[in-house]
Amino acid sequence: MSKPLQLPPTQQDKISAADLYTVLNDVSRYSCHIYDPLYLLLLDTRSVQDYQTNHIQSAFHVSAVNVAIINQNLQKFSNIIFYGADGKLDENDQFVEHAVGLLEDHDIDYDILTGGFCEFHERFPFMCNTVTAWTEVEREHKLSVYPSLILEDWLYQGNGNQARNAEMIQAMGITHILNISTEHKCDLEGVKYMHIKLQDEGSSPLIDHFENVFEFLDEAKRTKGRALVHCNLGVSRSSTASLAYMMLSERCSLGDAYTFLKQRRPISAPNRGFLLQLGEFEEYVFGKSLTDANELWLSI
């Protein structure tokens, strides 16, 4: 029987470490959102010394709210998030009090990171550094965009350039790479590969590889490794593989798996032929069709 695949419940005005990771690494087909200075205002409320020692990528110290470039654009930010050492803010801190007061005076929503810097750093140490970047040009040169987190702390999905970035792969602790492309080689040392050489065409028989994909990715999970699934852009072929894996491992329908994947990697979009193959695979897994693949395609 199919069961829903769901993200952990969210609390009002709270954001989890995994959801912040998604915000920091969200992309479109043509750009990385974090490069836009008005996409995210991430404010570190710890001491200045702690902030300067190490902070979450793209964060500013909360005192930066007084800087004109931020103060004059508060209402233009798409996301505003505070974090402390843990999941709480020191409401008696003058900088915190001032920043929160400004936002509330202008009726601007904000979130607080559950678990704070400590939990985020424990789960994603590679996303923490000492870099400060103000402008779009600085952000493009100084900030790294990492593959999307799909299943908690072990399954990631990204593009071919990320998969061939040795420094990134090592920092993330990736042990297994599933390469579904003809565009990229499997040439990093110390990583186990599975290479499926197929074009992003609906007629490519990706369904023939679904069970081997499951075995390869499940090996990474069983051995407490970390796996990266990629194609060229990280949109169609890799999404198809991630969906097939989740349908088998989580015993969920194609529709539920797709809803979940879009929350973790909004750019995900298998081509129509691959969705039809996933619909056929769903019928094989559950003995009946649970999702109309054509309707799902029309909703993309």
Catalytic residue numbers read: 231
Residues facing residue 291 across a β-bridge:
none
Cβ burial of 51 (10 Å; 0-12, 13-18, 19+) is buried
Q: For residue 116, give the 3-state DSSP assignment.
A: helix
Cβ(59)–Cβ(43) below 8 Å? yes
Helices (H) and strands (E) in the chain, counts: 13, 12
Distance of alpha carbon 181 from alpha carbon 295, whole angstroms: 27
Distance of alpha carbon 255 from alpha carbon 244, whole angstroms: 11
Q: For residue 143, give the 3-state DSSP assignment.
A: coil
